[in-house]
Structure 1
């Protein structure tokens, strides 16, 4: 099928299969950590803090990680990050097995994982072009990679909900630990024609400056990264409060919480499959705008959903909007950034996407204490709609594309 055309490349196929298993384990652990922290503390603020420490390193380290990845062998960096991630998962698994329910320790290990991810995500994204021989198949590979990520977002929480209620939290954590075996096996089986890295003439600090000048000097790249930063800061963190929606608003349990995560994942897969069928990135800006409107509107509707089935339906739609927005921006950056700056451009995408979410998680945790969970999510939906409107006005003023005319068409 045309939608799976990039799987014909052996290296990408191995990467795809290995990551599929590992990411399911990652989402199992993420679901278990959120549920465990809220079960032990009952604190929305601590929920936000756990998300904060697991993602804040991307804000601080992503540009540095981009420069490091551009200077060294990406394949070796990826191997190192996966091995260290496995060790981190093992430490967390044994801690929970022996019922060492120490919140500062959980927060500390989440911080370690965040530091690893700052390098790992940048490296994985910039390696995509090396795993796909033909550039015209790169958007399909990016979309399939997003499909895989979001399928894991469905399967991981769904499995976690069953495992949490049947066997307990420790099984979720050990499941994640063991899930790194397939991904490491597949990485060792890959045969990449890695580019020999010449000794850099400039220091890494000069390269950091070059990366910033390149991204800030390109109006299209910089406007998309600002758009994603606003979304990650004020809209995407709505998901932090879903344990509260599941447990307190809809009187559910761990399985109910897993339904929320899986519903968003289902919407993301629907969106990713659509993006994978696109043959060109010709209308990528239009897709970003429509997706952003869908995302903001669905978060707003979710905030006051009166019944659980309706809330889950709106969660599916949030997944559609969020996935299309983030993946389309990622595709634009990877296909338009010059090769020498690709990893650094992607690092700003990672910073805008993952780096802003932790600050937003703290913000929505505080907002939920002030306005209640429904009020906080409502504010995020409104901000998402307003941000999209401002982005459309900016594009029209720049005259880069007749955005509104295309939308009307």
Structure 2
């Protein structure tokens, strides 16, 4: 389960990123609470949606450009720059909060700045994973452990923020922002301590041609196209529930900042369990079924959470949602990183970042507007229904997707290795055919259910 941590560079990244992500989740929780405090009850849903929109919308427009940067420049120096800029953004928020002069327009402006920087940071970090683990053998485990790190921090960070806010009478957001700024030091130290043989990436095309080459490669591949479309749909209609968590904590559950922390932590517990489950897997085969099942389970959890009035229902529902979305995203990321050509990795992962992060702000803004008119429960339940429909459509496409992926798996040696492990006494070609038949039977069983 922890085999990718045997790589020194990934181990350094894992430790530094873990500390930083706790700070990030503290800032995210404190930000939601601060926006609610500044906006008042009347416009709370709208401003929560607006803050999420401005901080994430840059990903929709800049993600393709970030992929070009990831494929054309050395990735570690780019990460030095992005991590430093994000640290300065957190310090700026802390200064404004401590001075008592912070306003919503400050939050919107600094959120947009963070969104621009994060777009480049996420894409380059995803492409950098392969370099840290030294090849495709441990990439699936590295992705899963990276996801478990993210969600372990999602468990700890909101809980710490909730405690700090509670201790400060609900007006202690500046301390959360300051701690987040300090946490970036761990990432910068980890990057500096890595031992890498860095070679400048070679991309034959330049400028606009580089971008279009990546786009043609990405969207001409049926598996990549289908996976990205499903990720985009779930990000658009499903993940915006997080924007409305404060409303559920205060209005539906009659709680305070500690309740908001519990809700965020519950989702983190489920996501952490999902990431650990993915880390324990030893093969990429069968991940298509996980990509289909994840959104279905996520949608069912959204509907249950939408109409919950007690923590006994809300917390388990959020845990299920966290598990499901993590399984889907980790499986999607793993397949993409496995089948993509190395010289296109950054650009393909930029489109993944655009699907995952770029459509979320549109959903968050729409969710905020819908919640003002129809209420938060209806908005979240509607998103859950769309997630279930999208999962069913993707399930029907699985046989065709596998037809395109199998030749790639054979070319890079995945299917022969699995066949040999299943049936050592058989000829490699016979074992491959057996594996194909097994997968086809699984497709048929899935469609029947």
Q: Shorter chain as normaliser: what TM range?
A: over 0.9
Partners of 1:188 and 1:393 lie apart in 2 by 47
Unaligned runs of 5+ in 2: 404-438
Counterpart of 2:37 in structure 1 is: 39
- The total of aligned residue pairs comes to 406
Alignment match, 1:94: 95
Larger gyration radius, structure 1 or structure 2: 2
- Which runs of structure 2 are paired with 1:2-401 in the superposition (5 Å)? 3-41=1-39, 42=41, 43-167=44-168, 168-198=172-202, 200-396=203-399, 400=403
TM-score normalised by L of structure 2: 0.88
SS where residue 135 of structure 1 aligns?
A: coil
Take 1:15 and 1:265, find their aligned partners in 2: how far apart are those partners? Answer: 21
- Label 1:121 to 1:397 Cα distance change in 2 as closer, same or farther (>3 A): closer
In structure 2, C-alpha distance between the alignment counterparts of 1:39 and 1:117, rounded to whole Å: 26
- Is 1:405 matched up with 2:403? no
1:68–1:204 contact (8 Å) kept in structure 2? no
Unaligned ranges ≥5, structure 1: none
Contact 2:59 2:353 in 1 (8 A): yes
User: Does the Cα contact within 8 Å between 2:57 and 2:359 map onto a contact in 1?
Assistant: yes
Query: Which of 208-217 and 188-197 deviates more?
Result: 188-197
Q: Is the 8 A contact 1:62 1:122 kept in 2?
A: yes
Distance in 1, matches of 2:31 and 2:401, equals: 45
Deviations 1:114-161, CA, capped at 9 Å, x for gaps: 000010000101000001024221100110000000101010000000
Distance of 2:95 and 2:242 partners within structure 1: 28
1-side partners of 2:196 and 2:54: how far apart?
Answer: 34
- Determine the C-alpha separation between the residues in 1 that align with 2:9 and 2:281: 22
Task: Assess if the C-alpha contact under 8 Å between 1:140 and 1:276 holds in 2.
Answer: yes
Q: TM-score, normalised by structure 1?
A: 0.97
CA distance in 2, matches of 1:196, 1:396: 39
Poorly superposed stretches of 4+, deviation over 2 Å = 200-203, 393-409
| Counterpart Cα distance in 2 of 1:259 and 1:398 | 39
Contact 1:11 1:190 in 2 (8 A): yes
The CA distance in 2 between the partners of 1:270 and 1:398, in whole Å, is 27
Which stretch shifts more, 174-183 or 348-357? 174-183
Deviation of residue 183 (structure 1)? 1.2
Pairwise CA distance, 1:366: 1.0
Q: Secondary structure at the match of 2:137?
A: helix
CA distance in 2, matches of 1:197, 1:133: 15
Return the alpha-carbon distance in structure 2 between the equivalents of residues 369 and 55 of structure 1.
21
* Contact in 2 for aligned 1:31/1:258 (Cα 8 Å): yes
Higher deviation after alignment, 271-280 or 231-240: 231-240
Q: Is the 8 A contact 2:222 2:401 kept in 1?
A: no
Structure 1: how far apart are the matches of 2:204 and 2:444? 47
Q: Residue 423 of structure 2 corresponds to which residue in structure 1?
A: none
Deviation, 1:390, is 1.4
Contact 2:72 2:200 in 1 (8 A): no
Q: CA deviation at 1:240?
A: 1.1
- Distance in 1 separating the partners of 2:164 and 2:354: 33
The answer (yes or no) to whether the contact 1:287–1:324 under 8 Å persists in 2 is: yes
Given that 2:398 and 2:443 are in contact with CA atoms closer than 8 Å, whether structure 1 keeps it comes out as no
